[in-house]
Amino acid sequence: MLRTLFTFLSLFAILGSLSAQTPVRWRHEAKALGNGQYSITFKAKIEKGWYVYSLYLPSEDGPVATSVTIEEGEFTPVGKASESSSDPGNKKSGFDEIFEMQVTKYKNDLQILKTVATPNKQQHLVGYLEYMTCNDQSCLPPTNYEFDIDLAALPQPKAAQESTEDGKSGQVAPKAKDAANTTAQLDSAAETPKEEVTVEEETAPNSSAVEGQPISWSYEKRLIEGNSYELIFRAEMTEGWHTYSQFLEGEDGPVATKLNFVEGDHFKLLSGPTESTNDPKNKVSGFDPLFDMKLTKYKNQLEIRQRVEVLDSSKALEGFLTYMICDKEQCLPPTDLEFSFFKAAAASTPKIDPNKVLTGIDRPDIRSSLKAAAARGNCGTEVESDNLSLWMIFFFGFIGGLFALLTPCVFPMIPLTVSFFTKRSQSKAEGIRNATIYGLSIIGIYVALGMFVTIVFGENALNWLSTHWIPNLSFFILFIAFAISFFGYYEITLPSSWSNETDRAADRGGLLGIFFMAFTLSLVSFSCTGPIIGTLLVQAAEGGQLAPAVGMLGFSSALALPFALFSAFPGWLNSLPRSGGWMNVVKVVLGFVEVALAFKFLSKADMTMHWELLKYETFLGIYVVVAFAMGIYLLGFIRFPHDMKGAKISLPRKGLGLFSIALATYFALGFTVDEKTGTYATPPIMSGLAPPACYSYYHPCDCPAGLQNCFHDYEEGLAYAREQKLPIMIDFTGYGCENCRKMEDQVWVKPEINKILNEEYVLISLYVDDRTKLEKTLTAPDGQKIRNVGNKWAAFERLNFGQVSQPLYVLMAPDETILNTPVGAVFDADKYQEFLECGLSNYALWGKGELK
């Protein structure tokens, strides 16, 4: 997993070889085969030098396999999807140097055939094909090709029409079902020739790759006799990772693997569950140093079997498998793998009404009222939003660049590079010119990286990058890996061939040679600058499309500045501190900072997915421990591998150590409880970093800042406001929104503002990053997919208020009349109070029918 993430981030450095547009063009064709069966053919035209990967790859720890997903429509797969090419030579199977594993990929063209059976030929099949494109040096991010197939528009074969009973469309003839069953039986028999079992339809394994984890699961069912089935779950794990047995002693260790079934009277559990592996060496029993106890765990492969008696096959047999996966140094959070058998029989009309949902978020009356509110303003008072400005992003990027200068990867390069320019140049003016070009090249490389992130991801995907659990969990793992490297336990470096190639290019001389010298610096310093750049890009993603490039401009400006200054004034080099042990201290301090930032990313994933693993007390406790550990390290009480034994502790280092311990004490003050609100008093510096105080084990609350009443569904809050005849404040927020937390912790807790929100308004907090899935994927009027609750509220904000950032505060009357101009984060409590009071004044006018 780490190798995949590391490769993906490292490839960002090769900007010149990446294209903003995918070099693959897809099209699809659909055909009615008769007897309720349909074939869908996807055809790809691939540009020269690029590849698309097979549907079937041996491991999840590599490129993204091509896959076809149907999101809407009642259907049953007939056999497995097949793949082919017009020329057998286009199929390449073997070792891939980018991912260091065996893969199968296609060049020039690829054709995928998927066959499905359905009793309803009047419906649409809507879904997407996901694929990944690479050449010999780099890969583009995974891309979706969406499709919508109207089955009613496809001509039906004559034989199929004649076989339909009484001319009724939508009823599959018995032969079609037999054909589907036969195909499934042949597929299953081919896979398991050693076991003589009767195979029921839908036994082709359901693949369930777990995104962001070094494990993949598949599951299937097999008919034993009568109504008895065996459910089989198989796990394949990346080398070095393992999962735990179902049968563990005690509750104080890792999470045991466990099958959980949704209760019902339509099935009965028989003998089992059992567990086994294809190689006895994969089962390891004994003392585990990570948990300090005796355990049984499995590496490489695990198989779990459970026998059931199905009493009513018209109902779905559903549940989830809980497991935990670890390596020698860390464990990923426990994960639930959802499963469902007899899906076709259990299919039914979704409870959610698509038309009602789309009507609920697309409100022309609100848009019309918003224009009138813009003309009214905020009662003559100018209220400025304090969302992170581009200047602040530049400033934070510049500070990050200054930190990068002090690392062992960059600092020693300053005198070496400047000396190279001064000796190579025939005059001082030429030396300054070359150093300036060198500095500008550094700036250009990093700004191009920021632009690349914007072009590839786009504004909507930048929000996904900063709030979705997958990138946040990935950054958590990556930053922990970087932190351990900073502590000196191993070294992270890019492939030496990259730096060797750029170094040879730098020897050409001239402007191109100077550029490649700057490019070489960017590559060799990656192990130190990578975490800083990653943090900056993710934080900047919340600031809009220009923010990543502006952040990189600040970072690279600080990085390039010393080279230009010392080239202009070479005498200053004598006053430059010598490289030494102090840089290792800086690196360890950055390691502690990386650990703290890693848990910030994990906290976002935890809140958006409702895992409830890292609540306020745990998070704050981790920050206390990290700050205290950094303090005692700086004071010399603990050492890391690259620290010299008996080294003298300087006075500045002692001072910084005492400051770190004081910081730990300051963090600990966050455990005090505010008597007025009944919640934790979050330290100001932790606002936006720590989870909301309400996300707590001991003092949980549904509403922030001690408020007594709030809603998380717009329609429910609107109905309550109409009943109570109170104005509304819509709070577009997010679990991963730092400015939202700062507003709640620093502004909403003010007594006068807290009173207004408690007594005068109905608060409706809508979380745009809530990943709770809807029962059916919908399409918003602007074409965006709505797959979960967060998508729904994000579309509501985007369609009606023209905003995609949070927080956004909207004051409205119960009939959805906007009372004044909506605002974002306003950290000036007096200004924010004026905004709220302006809404109340306009609400009074609205009640009299005088609001214009």
**Do 726 and 798 share a domain, yes or no?**
yes
**Where does a domain end: 561, 579, 597?**
579
Tell whether 600 is covered by a domain.
no
Q: For 606-656, how does the pLDDT look when each residue is reduced to its tens digit (9 = 90+)?
A: 887 778 888 889 999 999 999 999 999 999 899 888 777 777 888 988 999
**Do 721 and 805 share a domain, yes or no?**
yes
Write the single-letter amino acid at 411.
F
Mean local confidence (pLDDT), 679-693: 81
- Do residues 275 and 246 touch, judged by C-beta distance below 8 A? yes
CATH number of the structural domain spanning residue 93 = 2.60.40.1250
**Do 17 and 145 share a domain, yes or no?**
yes
**Do 515 and 473 share a domain, yes or no?**
yes
Residue 575 has what DSSP assignment?
Answer: G
**Do 337 and 395 share a domain, yes or no?**
no
Numbers of helices and strands, H then E, in the chain: 22, 31
Q: For residue 240, give every residue at least 6 positions away whose Cβ sits within 8 Å of its Cβ, in sequence order, or none.
A: 214, 327, 328
pLDDT at residue 412, as a whole number: 62
Instruction: To the nearest 10°, report the CA torsion of 792, 794, 799, 802.
Output: 170
Tell whether 292 is covered by a domain.
yes
**Do 156 and 70 share a domain, yes or no?**
yes
pLDDT at residue 616, as a whole number: 87
Tell whether 834 is covered by a domain.
yes
Provide, rounded to the nearest whole percent, the portion of the chain with pLDDT above 70.
73
pLDDT at residue 726, as a whole number: 93
Tell whether 462 is covered by a domain.
yes
**Do 541 and 465 share a domain, yes or no?**
yes
pLDDT at residue 98, as a whole number: 67
Tell whether 28 is covered by a domain.
yes
Residue 258 pLDDT > 60, yes or no? Answer: yes
**Where does a domain end: 124, 153, 169?**
169
Q: For 186-213, how does the pLDDT look when each residue is reduced to its tens digit (9 = 90+)?
A: 333 333 333 333 333 344 566 554 545 6
Q: What is the 3-state secondary structure (H, E, C) of 184-252?
A: HHHHHHHHCCCCCCECCCCCCCEEEECCCCCEEEEEEEEEEECCEEEEEEEEEECCCCEEECCCCCCCC
**Residue length of the chain:** 852
Based on the structure, what is the number of domains in the chain? 4
Tell whether 683 is covered by a domain.
no
pLDDT at residue 678, as a whole number: 72
Tell whether 645 is covered by a domain.
no
**Where does a domain end: 169, 188, 220?**
169
pLDDT at residue 250, as a whole number: 67
Tell whether 688 is covered by a domain.
no
CA distance 249 to 597: 34
Name the more confident of 594 and 490.
Answer: 594
Mean local confidence (pLDDT), 471-483: 82
**Do 125 and 211 share a domain, yes or no?**
no
pLDDT at residue 618, as a whole number: 93
Structural domain boundaries, residue 243: 205-348
**Do 63 and 143 share a domain, yes or no?**
yes
CA distance 248 to 293: 10
**pLDDT-based confidence at 425, cuts 50/70/90?**
low
